[in-house]
Chains A and B, each alone.
Chain A
Amino acid sequence: MKNKTLLRWSTLVFGVFVGGIVMITVVQAATKTEQVTLQLTVEEVLAMSVDSASVNFGTLTPGTPVTGSTTVTVTTNANGGYDLKVKRDDADTTMDHTSLPSFNITDKTAWDGSSSSATWSGTGLGFSVYSSTATKNTTWWGSGSACDDSNNKYAGFPSSYVTIMDHDSYSASSTTTSVCYKVDVPSTQRSGVYDGTITYQATSKP
């Protein structure tokens, strides 16, 4: 009597194959992933501050210049960078005699945005951009790197906003621009207290 074959090899292989496919399908269904898209738009912002709201020159002896400085910090994510401009607020000169405003301290040749700066000589009030972590234009302001550097080029404050620092690219961190003020007067300058106001302006590129 022949033994009866209960399970053929081909049936076993076929069964395992089908079972495998079923298991893979079940596992895939159980581990199905869904993608979620996260999207946001970061708005352009600009923050500006100065290290001090005023620069005090103390007492000036005619013939011996005094200096002071301001650091302007701009934090912006503007893609095209930003412009930093400055102007004096008074119509004729930057600093007037506090109690006799018709007496002024003469300004150096007003900054024209390209070429009116010069190394320090004589008397007057001038300013120079002596360093910037954004963009320093050494053609405009000379190669000086400190406020009292003799290589600084100075100009007078203009009566309308003129660019003193032109930064045309995105910055991943805050940028600082340091401005030096230098003033000397002739011995005939009326004695007393003088003051004035300047305004720094920061705007994104057009």
Chain B
Amino acid sequence: MTVDAIQRNVLWGIGVALLACAQVVFAQVPLENDGVPHGGVQISPLRFEAQLRGGEEYRGTLRLKNFDTEPQRVTLEAENFIVTEDTENISFYPSNRASHRSVPEVSEWVTFSSSQVVLQPGEAREVPFTVRVPLEAPTGGYYGALFATISAPPSDGETSRIAINTRMGALLILAVHGKEPARVEGAMELTPRRTVEFSAPAQFFVRIINSGNLHFRGAGHVTISRAGTTVATLPLASHVNYPGKVRTYTVPWKFRLWHAGPYTVTAQYESLSGLVDLEQSVVVWILPWTLFALIGGLFILLLFVVRYIRTHYTITRRDSQ
């Protein structure tokens, strides 16, 4: 065996060994994004919903789990929230904000069994809490959040730095039935983006208006039908509708070439309690531009064919020959 051959064999051997090592090492590395947290703290559930009367108590449990390799000190606190007009966003505020003092604040009704817990790596802990509704609380929706905050270690005073805290919230959505009558009621507006749609997707806007004094959770669907035959059923996902607010669902329908014609679009929405049951219909015309393009193209082709025949052939009646 020559020296070159020996060198080549040794290099091949090293390469194979490296590949084998890489296989062993990388096979044990967990997937980076497998849906399992690889650090931080997890909270659950993300919302508590309850119907209560003045003077009643609600008991819940917030579950925490530490996915970090270090112990985590978690501070628990309650705040209040208000939703924006379109119910897309939330503003949280602590109980001492002067501008909101005129309304009873749910954050003041919440008591945690422990306001601070230390979670060891991998540890899961249940933290019970109690919500005590005052006897005189007026009828209405009361909205708060239970926050778990993980604070960064204190500064060493020698390095310019920004410390980073994280906090996660679970929503607390309470309907309180006080002395005033409860009104769970709503209205619906169904509007198409255009009454004549030329290009897909057609879009429909379903606005659920809560005109009562309590929130309600509801869900529904939009059906698109023609001559009594349903061609599509599109879901309206389950959401909470807050009093005095409007939730807008945008529902797209990707129609096809053969869907040309008039359609009846019907939106149906019902609250879980069944107290709110809404339905509305509109008629839209689907006229796909691709269909017109196809017909136009065929017409032009036909013209060319007729012209070609007229140019190259003479059409005469048989009896005239």
The B contact surface, by secondary structure, is strand
A32-66 residues at the B interface, CB under 8 angstroms: 43-50, 52-60
Chain B residue contacts of A60, Cβ below 8 A: 160
Using CB atoms and an 8 Å cutoff, list the residues of chain B in contact with chain A: 33-47, 65, 67-68, 81, 83, 87-92, 145, 147, 149, 152-153, 155, 157-169, 171, 237, 239-240, 242
Contact B46 A78 (CB under 8 A): yes
Cα A45 to Cα B35 with chains together (Å): 11
**Nearest B residue to A44 by beta-carbon distance?**
B46
Can you pick out 24 interface pairs between chain A and chain B where the beta carbons lie within 8 Å of each other? Answer: A47-B65, A47-B168, A49-B39, A49-B40, A49-B41, A49-B68, A50-B40, A53-B164, A54-B161, A70-B164, A72-B166, A79-B237, A80-B237, A80-B239, A173-B35, A195-B159, A195-B162, A197-B162, A199-B167, A202-B166, A202-B167, A205-B88, A206-B89, A206-B242
Contact A75 B36 (CB under 8 A): yes
Contact A47 B163 (CB under 8 A): no
The A contact surface, by secondary structure, is strand
Chain B residue contacts of A43, Cβ below 8 A: 44-45
Once A194-B160, A204-B47 are accepted as A-B contacts, the answer to whether A199 and B166 lie under 8 Å apart by CB is yes
Contact A95 B35 (CB under 8 A): no
Contact A46 B166 (CB under 8 A): no
Write the nearest CB–CB distance from A189 to chain B, whole angstroms: 11
Chain A residue contacts of B88, Cβ below 8 A: 168, 205-206
Chain A residue contacts of B40, Cβ below 8 A: 47-50, 73
Chain B residue contacts of A99, Cβ below 8 A: 157
- Interface flag for A89 (CB, 8 Å): yes
Chain B residue contacts of A181, Cβ below 8 A: 162
Using CB atoms and an 8 Å cutoff, list the residues of chain A in contact with chain B: 43-50, 52-60, 68, 70, 72-73, 75-76, 78-80, 83, 89, 94-95, 98-99, 161, 163, 166, 168, 172-174, 181, 193-206
Write the nearest CB–CB distance from A72 to chain B, whole angstroms: 8
Write the nearest CB–CB distance from B167 to chain A, whole angstroms: 5
Contact A52 B168 (CB under 8 A): no
Chain B residue contacts of A45, Cβ below 8 A: 42-46
Cα A174 to Cα B36 with chains together (Å): 8
Contact B162 A203 (CB under 8 A): no
Write the nearest CB–CB distance from B51 to chain A, whole angstroms: 18
Contact B159 A193 (CB under 8 A): yes
Chain A residue contacts of B45, Cβ below 8 A: 43-45
Contact B165 A46 (CB under 8 A): no
Q: Which 4 pairs from chain A and chain B are nearest by CB?
A: A49-B40, A47-B42, A49-B39, A47-B37
Contact A195 B237 (CB under 8 A): no
Once A44-B45, A206-B171 are accepted as A-B contacts, the answer to whether A95 and B160 lie under 8 Å apart by CB is yes
Cα A77 to Cα B238 with chains together (Å): 15
Contact B33 A173 (CB under 8 A): yes
Contact B44 A58 (CB under 8 A): no
Once A195-B163, A200-B165 are accepted as A-B contacts, the answer to whether A44 and B47 lie under 8 Å apart by CB is yes
Cα A146 to Cα B45 with chains together (Å): 35
Write the nearest CB–CB distance from A46 to chain B, whole angstroms: 5
Chain B residue contacts of A72, Cβ below 8 A: 166
Cα A79 to Cα B239 with chains together (Å): 10
Other A-B contacts than A47-B40, A49-B41, A173-B34, 5 sampled, CB-CB below 8 A, are: A44-B46, A48-B167, A75-B42, A193-B159, A206-B240
Cα A157 to Cα B164 with chains together (Å): 12
Cα A47 to Cα B157 with chains together (Å): 30
Contact B162 A75 (CB under 8 A): no
Cα A96 to Cα B43 with chains together (Å): 32
Cα A75 to Cα B168 with chains together (Å): 11
Chain B residue contacts of A73, Cβ below 8 A: 37-40
**Nearest A residue to B97 by beta-carbon distance?**
A160
Chain A residue contacts of B171, Cβ below 8 A: 203-204, 206
